[in-house]
Amino acid sequence: MMPTRKEILALHRYFYWAGTMRVLFRAELEKATREEEVKNAHFLAPYLPYHLAGMYTVVNGWKRLGLSDPEVDALLDADHLKLLKAFRHGVYHFHPAPAAPPRTPAGSVASRAPPSARNG
């Protein structure tokens, strides 16, 4: 069954919110002139974690609505989803001790992110 217009618009709202966080993150990076500021943009400013957490919600909606696109679906492999889920969990669930960014055995978040998430 095809998703309704209202369902697509609801999914777009989550995509827009996540995208806004990405734009704000990129703005923080562009302002950074020292290595410490770059680190702060990644780990102290809320924008990157909230963007990635929001993208997990977008993916969840994508799947629930039964949407499909070869380019999008290629990004939805288990490793990428595991990272997005880890960010969602880290952002929206209280953890009494500061946590390191989620990592996979294959490397850092940045190295595992799809190119569209790394580049402006």
**Max Cα separation, the chain?**
51
Q: How do the domains of the chain map onto residue ranges?
A: 5-118
Cβ within 8 Å of residue 31, ≥6 positions away: 37, 41
Read off the tokens for 82.
């595991």
Which of 56, 60, 41, 114 has its CA nearest to residue 88? 56
Cα–Cα distance for residue pair 108/43, rounded to 1 Å: 13
Window from 5-14, 53-62, 80-89, 106-115 with minimum mean pLDDT: 106-115
Say what the pTM is: 0.78
φ and ψ of 107, to 5 deg = 150, -165
Q: What is the pLDDT of residues 74-120, one digit of tens each?
A: 999 999 999 999 999 989 988 887 766 655 444 445 544 555 454 44
Please indicate whether residue 6 or residue 102 has the higher confidence score (pLDDT): 6
